[in-house]
Amino acid sequence: MQIDPKNPKYTDAFSRLLQIMNELREQCPWDKKQSIESIRHLTIEETFELSDAILEGDLQEVRNELGDLMLHIVFYARMAAEKDAFDMADVLNGICEKLIRRHPHIYADTKVNDEEDVKRNWEAIKLTESDKPKSVLAGVPKSLPALIKAQRIQEKARGVGFDWENKEQVWEKVQEEMQEFEQALAQKNAQEMEAELGDWLFSIINYARFLNINPETALEKTNLKFINRFKYIEQKAQETGKALSELNLAQMDIFWNEAKEFYK
């Protein structure tokens, strides 16, 4: 499918959304009352709803959730424009300029061999965009969930060349961290156990990165698999006329093994 960015349907649709946002901000009691701070948690919720739709492979729902996120982007820009801070055009031009600046292999004379070169260039250029010295890791949001944050930290470090040479080295590190956790466990040192478990998890995330497996996606798929299997147990318990709490572990295991045939 060819996409012509000059097709009026795109500009017309975007203009329509901006017009509706203006009308809502001026006329709707709820929309008039909102601030950048008040819709922040809703934006986070919409982002996770988009994530759910992506994992479920539901493109219609992906479309719907993208619309919800687009509404939030337009909403933030409108509220900022009211404060003479920036408007939607500033947002769009800003990201356009950033993309051009960070893709010199497309818009300038820089040569790259592969995607790793692109990533390294991206991180190097990013460090030049601030007047003040900035850490390579400064771009990792503090509020990211810990698993995703660990992955992004590792990717940022790799972008400037600080990384293992191969996956075998990383697997050795995973085993080393597991042994250190086992030692802390044997000593029953709660503080050390927590620290070593964190190191172990960090190394597993690192190993997943070397295998090109997204650990957050992998874990979420396992969460969903567990939920489906557990719901199967609940359903079978209901069919037997018992509450789930009335089943013993052996009975639950029978239903769990049955569920594994349906939800793999």
Give the residue extent of every domain in the chain.
Answer: 8-101, 116-215, 216-262
> Domain 116-215, what fold?
Helix Hairpins (1.10.287)
What pLDDT score does 128 carry? Answer: 85
The type of residue at 93 is N
Q: Which of 170, 235, 175, 172 is nearest to 209 (CA)?
A: 170
With 0-12 / 13-18 / 19 or more C-beta atoms within 10 angstroms meaning exposed / middle / buried, residue 157 is middle
**Quick one: the chain helix, strand, coil %, rounded to 5?**
75, 0, 25
Does 8-101 match 116-215 in CATH topology?
Answer: yes
Ramachandran sector of residue 83 (left: φ over 0; alpha: ψ -120 to 50; beta: rest): alpha
Ramachandran sector of residue 37 (left: φ over 0; alpha: ψ -120 to 50; beta: rest): alpha
Q: Transcribe 40-70 into DSSP letters.
A: HHHHHHHHHHHHHHHHHT-HHHHHHHHHHHH
The type of residue at 243 is A
Alpha-helical segments (H) within 160-214: 167-187, 190-210
CATH architecture for residues 8-101: Orthogonal Bundle (1.10)
Instruction: Give the list of residues 6+ apart from residue 141 with CB closer than 8 angstroms, or none.
Output: 149
Quote the CA–CA distance of 82 and 103 in Å, as a whole number.
33
Is-contact 151 140, C-beta < 8 A? no
Q: Determine how many CB atoms are found less than 10 A away from the CB of residue 95.
A: 10
Is-contact 129 109, C-beta < 8 A? no
Quote the CA–CA distance of 13 and 11 in Å, as a whole number.
6
What pLDDT score does 188 carry? Answer: 93
pLDDT, one tens digit for every residue, the chain (264 residues): 778 888 999 999 999 999 999 999 999 999 999 999 999 999 999 999 999 999 889 999 999 999 999 999 999 999 999 999 999 999 999 999 999 999 999 999 999 999 989 988 988 888 888 777 778 898 888 888 999 999 999 998 988 889 999 999 999 999 999 999 999 999 999 999 999 999 999 999 999 999 999 999 999 999 999 999 999 999 999 998 888 889 999 999 999 999 998 888
